[in-house]
Amino acid sequence: MAIISQLKSALKQYGFFNVLNLGFTKVVEKFGYYRDTYTLFEKELVQFELVKPLAAGYFYKELSGELLNNLNAPWVSAEQVSIFKSRLTKPGYFGLGIFKEGTSELVYYFWLNFERIEMPEYFDNCHSLSLGTNEAYLYDGYCHPEHRGRGFHGFAAQTLMNLAREAGKSKMVTIIRSINKAAIVSQEKVGFRPVKEIRFAGFRSNISCTVRNL
């Protein structure tokens, strides 16, 4: 049943043909070849966002080391928690979590940093993308499938955009896998526009990165 649920979630998020493409990508990765395409989005922070109230039955908190040490989120791996903790040891990193009332289970998270553009593991050292001094990077957002459709992404994105503006930033940047249609729609709803396409391809020891303007 878990596999069926994951498949339904993937089909809704990516669409049928893109799920097939993801499957092929996973197969070629077994042979050490990596390829993927991402889209870079930007939004000018010209004014503070009007954030709608969070859905009833949920609350949000800034992620902290203490909170992560006692995290109620069986779906988040120990490795992921370790990555979160590592981020919080650096200046300019901020994580927002949304929790279910009663159980205090983490159901959604989103990250913001003022330091650098981070990409998935295999591609993080293969690009020359950087943040300007006036820019903030919005990234690594995920909602547990059982809690989707409640406006968490818009709430979190706008809350973090306001935080960036308070810190003196005038532009927000985010990067989304190009086949992740659901995430793209969510970002466009809060005012982001696509500006660059980023393509990675190659064997793990020699992955190339190509960037073109849209």
Structural domain harbouring 187: 30-213
Beta-bridge partner residues of 193 = 42
Please give the tally of structural domains in the chain: 1
| pLDDT reported for residue 164 | 97
Q: Looking at residue 163, which CATH number applies to its domain? A: 3.40.630.30
| pLDDT reported for residue 10 | 52
Query: Does residue 25 lie within any of the structural domains?
Result: no
Query: Does residue 15 lie within any of the structural domains?
Result: no
Convert the pLDDT of each residue in 55-108 to its tens digit: 999 999 999 999 999 999 999 999 999 999 999 999 999 999 999 999 999 999
Query: Does residue 68 lie within any of the structural domains?
Result: yes
| pLDDT reported for residue 89 | 96
Convert the pLDDT of each residue in 159-214 to its tens digit: 999 999 999 999 999 999 999 988 999 999 999 999 999 999 999 889 999 999 99
Tokens of 23: 């499957």
DSSP string across 104-144: --EEEEEEEESS-----GGGTTS------TTEEEEEEEEE-
